[in-house]
Structure 1
Amino acid sequence: MTYIARKSVHLIIAFFILIAISALPSLVVQTDFSLTNYWNGIQQQMDQLQKLEDITYYNITAQRYLPLLPALGPLVKESVIIFTTALAVSTSLGLMYAYFYYRSGRRIRTVLHQTSQTLEMVPDLFWLIFSQFLAITIHKSTGFDRIEVAGGFAEYIRFLPIVTLTLTTLFFFIKWLTIHIHEQEAIPYLELAQAKGIRPSGLFWKHLLPNIIYRFYLFFRSNIITILSTLLIVEYLFNVQGLFRFAVYNPQMEILLVILFVIYIPIFLLDLLIEWIIPNAWKGGI
């Protein structure tokens, strides 16, 4: 019950924070800050929650205003496909890297560590430009034109956005995994398990990984805003027909309010499910 009560409080607090964030455009009136106008904006947003079906947006293709909620479905689908695919690939590659790093000697570890540090410092924008440049180069050299470098108003682009988001997230994960593998190796229980004759692969997958998997999830959860901000850049520059690009082109307060709730509520529910699924033994008292 304590866990449910704590999460319920978090949801209520987040509810008001999202409303306050969505009303931020009303804080500035003609380059001046107006707290009165901001408070009125917050009240307007709370009233808008009671009539979400009345919110509209201007559709450039149709040249008229259309209801917002039905239009968000395909946009959410595209963003979810790109985000979940990139996350699944980067997590899988990160765990494979962690296993290879764990099994490697000192010299290889040094090379891997220095390489990952260098790549992790590369700006996200570089990978976006590099992936587009590589696709164009392949097309000029081989004539292969199946890789789209940008989407359109009625076209979907997924491959390069997924690759770009995967790369930026992967190097982010690798840095964390490298640090925590070093920490776990210093714990005596691994030496004891090794002395009992447990093979290195068993040590990693059955002992070391369960001890860091929950911490890895907490690291991801605390940095999800960073990953989502990268997704926003990817969608905007690749012209992806996704939720974040739609928010950039439709910055009205009521639309921002709906989009923030559409993003937050599934993440909150997924967090509840993961916290329930992960065994307490893996949490280690966290």
Structure 2
Amino acid sequence: MNWIAQKSAQFFITIFVLIAISALPSLVVQLEFVPANYWNGIQQQFSQLAKLDEITYFNVTAQRELPLLPDLAPLMKETVIIFMTSLIVSVGFALLYAYFFYRSGKRVRTVLQQTSQTLEMIPDLFWLIFSQFLAITIYKKTGFDRIEVAGGFAEYIRFLPIVTLTLTILFFFLKWLTKHILEEEVSLFLELARAKGVRPAALFWRHLLPNLVYRFYLFFRSNLITVLSSLLIIEYLFNVQGIFRFAVYNPVMPILLVILLVVYIPIFLLDLVAEWLIPNAWKGGI
């Protein structure tokens, strides 16, 4: 019951924060900073919650105002495809890296540690520019033109955005896994398992990894805003027909409110499901 109350309070507080964020454009009126107008903006956004289906936007192709919610579906689809594919691929590679690191000797571990720390410090923008440069170089050298470096109004681009976001998330994960594997492998319960003759592979997959799952999930959840900000940059610079790029080109308060809600509510529901599905034994009292 306490958990339900906590999650309910978290939901309503976050909704209020999102409304306050979506009202930020009201601070600027005709290029002048007007703090007194902010409260009116918040009230306007609250009243807008009752008529979200009436919000429209200007469609450049049609050259007229169109309902917002129906047209968000394909944009949301592109964003979800890029985000989920990048997340799944990066988690897969992170698990393989974690297992290889766990089974490696001291020299290899030192190299992996230094490499992961260096890669994690590289800005997201570098991977974006590097991937486009690589695609252009491949085209010049081989004539292979199937890798798109930017999308268009009627064209979808996925490969390079997925690669770029995957690298961003992956290097983010590697540093965390390196640190926590080193901490976890000297724990008493692993020492006991080794003393009982449990094989190294079983030690990792059945004992060490389950003990990291929940903490890894909490780490990712607390840094989700960083990942989403990277996705925003990727969508904008690759000209992806996604929801974040749409928000950049339509910085109107009602539209920002809808987009923030469309992004947050599914994440909140997935968080509830994840908290419910992860066994209490894996949470270790966290």
SS at 2:65 equivalent: strand
Residue 91 of structure 2 is matched in structure 1 by 91
Residue 72 of structure 2 is matched in structure 1 by 72
2: distance between equivalents of 1:284 and 1:207?
12
- Tell me the CA shift for residue 32 of structure 1: 4.8
Matches within 5 A, 1:1-286: 1-30=1-30, 32-286=32-286
Q: Deviations over 1:217-269 (max 9, x none)?
A: 00000000000000000000000000000000000000000000000000000
SS at 1:157 equivalent: coil
1: distance between equivalents of 2:142 and 2:31?
53
1: distance between equivalents of 2:12 and 2:248?
27
- Return the TM-score normalized by structure 2: 0.98
SS at 1:168 equivalent: helix
2: distance between equivalents of 1:280 and 1:50?
39
- Tell me the CA shift for residue 7 of structure 1: 0.4
SS at 1:65 equivalent: strand
- Tell me the CA shift for residue 28 of structure 1: 2.9
Q: Deviations over 1:182-222 (max 9, x none)?
A: 11012121111111111100000000000000000000000
Q: Aligned-residue CA RMSD in angstroms? A: 0.9
Paired amino acid for 2:192: L
Paired amino acid for 1:283: K
1: distance between equivalents of 2:127 and 2:82?
16
Paired amino acid for 1:240: V
- Tell me the CA shift for residue 35 of structure 1: 3.4
2: distance between equivalents of 1:36 and 1:125?
37
Structure 1 ranges of 4+ moved more than 2 A: 28-36
Paired amino acid for 1:249: Y
Q: Deviations over 1:50-109 (max 9, x none)?
A: 111211111111111111001000000000000000000001101110000000000000
SS at 2:46 equivalent: helix
- Tell me the CA shift for residue 17 of structure 1: 0.8
2: distance between equivalents of 1:164 and 1:271?
25
- Tell me the CA shift for residue 48 of structure 1: 1.0
Paired amino acid for 1:148: E
Paired amino acid for 2:255: I
Farther off after superposition, 88-97 or 32-41:
32-41
- Return the TM-score normalized by structure 1: 0.98
Paired amino acid for 1:184: E
Paired amino acid for 1:185: E
1: distance between equivalents of 2:226 and 2:2?
30
SS at 1:271 equivalent: helix
SS at 1:58 equivalent: strand
